[in-house]
Structure 1
Amino acid sequence: MMAGSRRLMTLGILGMMAAVPALAEENAPQVREWSWSGDTGPEHWSTINPNYETCGTGSNQSPVDLGDSLKVAGLAAPEISYDQPLLVVRRESTGLMIEGPADNTVTLHGHIYTLARIEFHAPAQHSVEGERAAMEIDFIHTDETEQTLVMAVLVREGEASQALDRIWSRVPDVDRSMTLNGEMLPSRLLPRERNGWSYNGSLTTPPCSEGVRWWVMKSPIHASRAQIERYRQWFDVDTARPTQPLNARYVLEQQ
């Protein structure tokens, strides 16, 4: 074979090899970031990323409606030890969250869970007989085996919250973080009465992982209309997932 022909053949083979990754990339499923609306909103989460499939196929998803509950005497409530102040407020396109040191814990059924972050949602994610509160604050904890416990506090319109005033004053621009001034204990975002509803569910945002223990407090805290509207102005859509079917689960209510 002539040298020129061999060179052309070699170049052709190299060209085909280079085209294979490009073809594979073109045919690969498109992966997109989730959001709260449009074609990347909750109804599409399970299809925009293979890691989010559970959002559509899971049978124990959250949030749920808490109205049809079973009253249980002596239902164990979380023992809360929030002694360390919160540190950082972070604002993302999908919501507002607060982080703190790893010394704030909750104990339930002998398991110690560490507070990982606090998330805010408007309106509330959980409903009671179809009614949603103005907001919901979710306290997300994990234990040493990576099991998750979420405590949820409903926020209803009423008197202004000094705790929320302090947090709102430190909310940064999107994709930025800001430290909280002074000592702000997470317990300031909790109601005095800690009785609640309990059920097995999931994370309410992708990847919607199941096996999450939920404790939703029956007593709400309050925020003024101005505080609620200020939060909603930071996000142009509802930042709450629609309620999911209970299927074979039960919601237990502390009596």
Structure 2
Amino acid sequence: MTTAIPTITLNNGVEMPQVGFGVFQVPNEETTAAVAEALKAGYRSIDTAAIYGNEEGVGKALAESGIARDELFITSKLWIADLGYEETLKAFDESLQRLGLDYLDLYLIHWPAPAKELYVDSWKALEKLYAEKKIRAIGVSNFQPAHLEKLIEASSIVPAINQVELHPALQNREVIAANTKHGIVTEAWSPLAQGAMLTDETILAIAEAHKATAAQVILRWHLQEGRVIIPKSVTPSRIAANLDLFGFELTSDELASIDALDRDGRTGPHPDQFNG
């Protein structure tokens, strides 16, 4: 298995692994073992969030791993209940404490919650934390183009990342175009559509041609289209397989056939659902 993970250079020069390990919906009591398995498999980028309730489990795995801090890339996120300048500063400190870390590599505003009209205030708090070198890069999650435009107009730092739901059935092309326009890297959450695309005939045919799994084909598609991905699993064999993506390459025709699967079919909530 090849596990040499490529990196993507963010707009502030920070290098981020293109493949990370996500812990969305993993209970805290199971998180330590899952993250330990991921680190053993070769992952060095771990993505969590305050609302996931498992930052402590992530922190325990990191502390027990013996891996040097500068070899790791740790992301967490600010939940909508903590939007606002002072609230963001407090929530960030609490996340750091739960993780047992002195700094984060990436911190994201989890949802814009536009009805609250507080995400710009939170962004200014992130800018402060970034200036204090408590965060190496700052970004957003689930921001639509209009949210990005408002944020960029009102601030001095362009987000490094916009993490959005993205998979073959929901390709979020308008968001990708807005990200590209501003030099923002697109990161895909739910890159496998929570398993919904693993039985698609097009995906399965490509997988057979490459002697790969359907999941590996979808993840490889993301990589070749320049996105950061954070697949999640608690099964050791799948954790390892989701990192084994570098021994084959999809052709331009295969990439196009996966692009053609876009149905704008959502498996998760729309960003404006969390509006207040």
Larger % of helix: which? 2
Larger % of strand: which? 1
TM-score, normalization: structure 2? 0.23
Larger Rg: 1
Considering Cα pairs closer than 8 Å and 6+ residues apart, tell me whether 1 or 2 has the greater RCO. 1
